Amino acid sequence: MNGMESSAYNNRHLKIHEIAAIENQEYEFLDSKSRLASFIGSLITVLIIGIGLAVLLYFVMDKMPFPVPYILIGVYSTLALWMLIYPFLAYKKRGYIIRSYDITYKTGVIWKKVISIPYNRIQHSSIKQGPIYKTLGLSNLNIFTAGGSNSDLEIAGLKLEDANKLKAYITKKVGELDV
């Protein structure tokens, strides 16, 4: 792995000031189209729930006690607004770092989460494309470890070719580091 080392970022932590490297790194953003993709996803959900709520209110609004319909509408509008803004807020907060020994992904608008997985703990990885992603040329990269579903990593909104590149790199790394 000597050739790899020079080309990719080297994360051997030898001295104390070199430690704590992830937080000093520039995260790579996801593809900018991923905003649009999740916005479309949110919009569809918002519309479906909205139609459902409208139908419900049309039939039973009279029978509900006074504040209930307004509470429902209020809750719905807040949620809808949040869901529609969220993709744009989330985009800025998401990113990944590829290093020579591990991969790190950050996500979360309110609660922030940074997940790091060493390559030598990766079981397998997969690429997934939903209908919206397909039309936009995006994809999901899923990375699985033996740590259970909570510890798996999903990078949603990579350009398909980037995801393929990344997957190939990870697979190569997993093979190299496998003990």
Q: Which of 151, 161, 168, 172 forms a contact with other proteins (CB under 8 A)? A: 151
Q: What mask of x and - would describe binding to other proteins in positions 105 to 144, judged by CB under 8 A?
A: -----xxxxxxxxxxxx----------------------x
Cβ contact 137:130 at 8 Å: no
Termini Cα distance of the chain: 14
By CB under 8 A, residue 154 contacts other proteins: no
Taking the complex as a whole, the smallest distance from the CB of residue 48 to other proteins amounts, in Å, to 28
Query: With CB under 8 A as the contact rule, which of the stretches 6-14, 34-42, 133-141, 155-163 interacts with other proteins?
Result: 6-14
Q: Is 110 helix (H, G, I), strand (E, B) or coil?
A: coil
Judged by CB, which is closer to other proteins: 120, or 135?
120
Taking the complex as a whole, the smallest distance from the CB of residue 79 to other proteins amounts, in Å, to 18
Q: What part of residues 65-84 is at the interface with other proteins (CB under 8 A)? A: none
Least Cα distance to 132 among 34, 25, 13, 27 occurs for 34
Joined tokens for residue 119 = 């390559």
Please give the C-alpha separations between residue 6 and each of 2, 92, 96, in angstroms, as whole numbers: 7, 30, 20
- Beta strands 95-98 and 122-128 are unpaired
Number of residues interacting with other proteins: please give it, by CB under 8 A.
33
Binding region for other proteins (CB under 8 A): 11-13, 19-23, 101-102, 110-121, 144-153, 179
